[in-house]
């Protein structure tokens, strides 16, 4: 388990040396989620390579194309993810309704990868929920990992995770037994053209999930898919 702030994570494998070259090769040929080596390369039309896993259908971007943390933060700063952006608030309020539908009364919530402004955390607190934010990219909420939550939320986060299995293991540890994990990410389908798909155009997006990939994520978390629209919202429990 790599624990040194790798969640939206970075750096460790990008500084050269024999071990790092090995990590790079591993990254290219083994699936970041299921570990299968049955992967094939494809092009995405955005000057990046993609690796597609034939076992779990995760499509992921090799490490050498990942942005450094500074570039990543600059890219996020272009998004209007603040309390002052009406469109973003509307979007999050819709998502909040999905979270409140989880069959636990007044769940404690961890907003995993909250972003700098922790907008979802604040909206959930406005509902009277006990909610905590965590985002190592902005050095937010390391202490929040000291306890466990009824509900762990990853809203537009999982597509950014570099050490996917480690981060999912952390999510699992932060969730109580009988709790829920809600994941929001756009999934691709068999007819998605990555060359024109807006989601693939974002250089900070490095993992792309088919709806069936989410079953593997659920399995990894020792959960099942319980709800959500199963297109861009998945409720696991």
The residues of the shown chain that bind Zn ion, judged by CB under 5 A, are: 31, 33-34, 36, 53, 55-56, 58
| Distance in angstroms (rounded) separating the CA atoms of residues 161 and 8 | 5
Nearer to Zn ion, 51 or 151 (CB): 51
Provide the minimum distance between the beta carbon of 187 and Zn ion in the complex, in angstroms, as a whole number.
15
Beta bridge partners of 207: 60
Residue of 158, 233, 159 lying closest to 197 (CA atoms): 159
Q: Where are the alpha helices (DSSP H) in the chain?
A: 18-29, 69-77, 86-100, 119-126, 164-174, 198-201, 213-220
Q: Which CB, 33 or 158, lies closer to Zn ion?
A: 33
Contact 153, 114 (CB under 8 A): no
Kindly tell me which of 31 and 170 has the beta carbon lying closer to Zn ion.
Answer: 31
Adjacent-strand bridge partners of 42: 50
Smallest gap, in angstroms, from Cβ of residue 23 to Zn ion? 17
Residue 111 Cβ vs Zn ion, minimum distance, rounded to whole Å: 27
The least distance separating Zn ion from the CB of residue 134, rounded to whole angstroms, comes to 26
Return the CA Rg of the chain.
Answer: 17
DSSP 8-state symbol, 19: H
Q: Residue 12: helix, strand or coil by DSSP?
A: coil
| CB of 149 or CB of 188, closer to Zn ion | 188
Instruction: Let me know how long the chain is.
Output: 237
Nearer to Zn ion, 52 or 135 (CB): 52
Question: Which pair of structure tokens corresponds to residue 28?
Answer: 């290219």
CB of 204 vs Zn ion, minimal distance in Å: 21
């Amino acid at each position: 388990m790599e624990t040194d702030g790798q969640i939206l994570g970075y750096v460790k494998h990008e500084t050269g040396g024999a071990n790092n070259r090995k990590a790079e090769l591993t990254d290219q040929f083994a699936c970041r989620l299921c570990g299968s080596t049955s992967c094939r390369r494809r092009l995405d039309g955005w000057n990046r390579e993609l690796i597609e896993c034939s076992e779990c259908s995760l499509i992921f971007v090799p490490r050498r194309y990942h942005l450094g943390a500074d570039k990543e933060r600059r890219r996020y700063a272009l998004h209007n993810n603040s309390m002052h952006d009406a469109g973003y608030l509307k979007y999050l309020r819709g998502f909040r309704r999905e979270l409140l539908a989880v069959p636990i009364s007044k769940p404690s919530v961890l907003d995993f990868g909250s972003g700098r402004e922790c907008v979802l955390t604040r909206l959930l607190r406005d509902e009277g929920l006990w909610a905590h934010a965590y985002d190592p990219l902005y050095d937010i909420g390391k202490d929040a990992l000291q306890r466990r939550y009824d509900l762990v939320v990853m809203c537009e986060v999982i597509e950014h995770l570099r050490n996917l299995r480690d981060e999912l293991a952390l999510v699992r540890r932060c969730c109580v037994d009988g709790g829920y994990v809600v994941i929001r990410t756009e999934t691709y389908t068999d007819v998605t053209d990555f060359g024109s798909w807006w989601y693939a155009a974002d250089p900070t997006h490095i993992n792309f999930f088919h709806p069936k990939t989410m079953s593997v994520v659920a399995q990894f978390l020792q959960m099942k898919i319980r709800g959500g629209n199963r297109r861009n919202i998945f409720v696991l429990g």
